[in-house]
Amino acid sequence: MRETNLKKLDLNLLVALNALLEECHVSRAANRINLSQPAMSRALARLRIMFKDPLLIKGSTGMMLTVRAQDLYQPLQSILRDITHIVAPPTFDPKTMHGEIVIAARDYELATILPKVITKVTTLAPHLKLSVLQLFGDNLSLLEHQADFALAGTESKSATLHRTTLFEEKFSCIQSRKNSTIHQKMNLKKYLQMKHCLVTISSFGLSIVDQILAQKKLKRNVVIRVPHFLAVSHIVAHSDLVATLPHRLCELISQQENIVLLDPPLKIPTFPIYLYWHVRNQENPMHKWFRELIKNSINY
């Protein structure tokens, strides 16, 4: 069919044509696709002009198909099937899914969130591969071209990003069981006197703990700054230092190291951990499935 005709083609006419070819009766074809009899008669008139053929003619026992109409039947079935597949939601089976999911995260999210996710992925989608890119500071630009998702406590309201809150995180303190002050009560005075290890993931301003202390005109004794959360566990385990870290990470460290988990002696607001993704992947079936899997993996 020439392009000039395609521009004028009404796909609803193909649905009407299919009903007419199968019913060989205008009224029954109309009922089948919820059209009035006059509307179906008008559709038949347009189809006759389009195909330059009467399509349905009177026979001895009723209406019958012309040779041209008979020739149209099989190609029409194929066209309607293809159109249905195009507009229908794609089928999705995680067990047969192949591909790769790229996640941008810091070592905190990597250690506390991804182990449970990996366990579920290897069970439910054994052919799916996961890759992790390091998230630097509060920069989510990796989502523009390199990463599918980002796990972060970063606040961003970019028009190109979607997000969902996975959980609210609080803070805890860790120190070595061999710390010389382990038997002293952790109060604010002791906290300020202790030597602190600070994780610096962003070069912008004070940490939330130091902001709160500054409001009280107080300052803690930070003797070392490190760029990674997991390095703190080994530093604290073999020193008299204390660290104030996200609670889930402190719980994880206390299970694996010679570490004591303590409540901080000041009120620190909780903060959300988000899952970010780019708007272009909003309706991607594999990504929708993975978003739900991550949310379902957070059970506390």
pLDDT digits (tens, 9 = 90+) for 69-106: 899 989 898 888 888 777 766 667 899 888 899 999 99
135 lies in the same domain as 181: no
Assess whether pLDDT exceeds 50 at residue 2. no
Phi, psi of 88 (to 5 degrees): -75, 150
**179: CATH:** 3.40.190.10
Q: Domain of 23: which CATH number? A: 1.10.10.10
Which band of pLDDT confidence, cut at 50, 70 and 90, is reported for residue 3?
Answer: very low
Domain extent at residue 216: 171-269
- For residue 94, tell me if it sits in a domain: no
The reply to whether 135 falls in a domain is: yes
* 254 occurs within a structural domain: yes
pTM for this prediction: 0.69
SS3 category, 126: coil
CB atoms within 10 A of CB 246: 21
Beta-bridged to residue 129, according to DSSP, are 100
Last residue of a domain, one of 87, 120, 151: 87
pLDDT, tens digit (0-9, with 9 covering 90-100), for 124-182: 999 999 999 998 877 899 998 899 999 998 888 888 999 999 999 999 999 998 877 77
How many folded domains does the chain comprise?
3
Name every residue whose Cβ is closer than 8 Å to that of residue 231 and which is 6 or more positions away in sequence.
none
Do 55 and 121 sit in the same domain of this protein? no
